[in-house]
């Protein structure tokens, strides 16, 4: 979706953040990247 106004942009961002908050697996997936392996705390 392309935001055509500031209000549309806010809505798109809020929806994206809500989706990320509700799907913790997406966030965990970011840290499975070999490029980010140094972040893992064991």
Dump the DSSP string for 1-42: ----SHHHHHHHHHHHHHHHHH-HHHHHHHTTSGGGGGG---
Q: Largest Cα–Cα distance of the chain, in whole Å?
A: 44
Percent pLDDT > 90 in the chain is 33
For residue range 24-41, list pLDDT tens digits in order.
888 788 777 788 777 766
| Residue in the block written with tokens 């500031």 | 6
Give yes or no for residue 10 having a pLDDT over 80. yes
């Amino acid at each position: 979706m392309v935001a055509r106004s500031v209000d549309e942009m806010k809505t798109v961002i809020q929806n994206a953040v809500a989706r990320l908050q509700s799907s913790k697996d997406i966030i965990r997936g970011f840290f499975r990247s070999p490029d980010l392996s140094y972040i893992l705390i064991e």
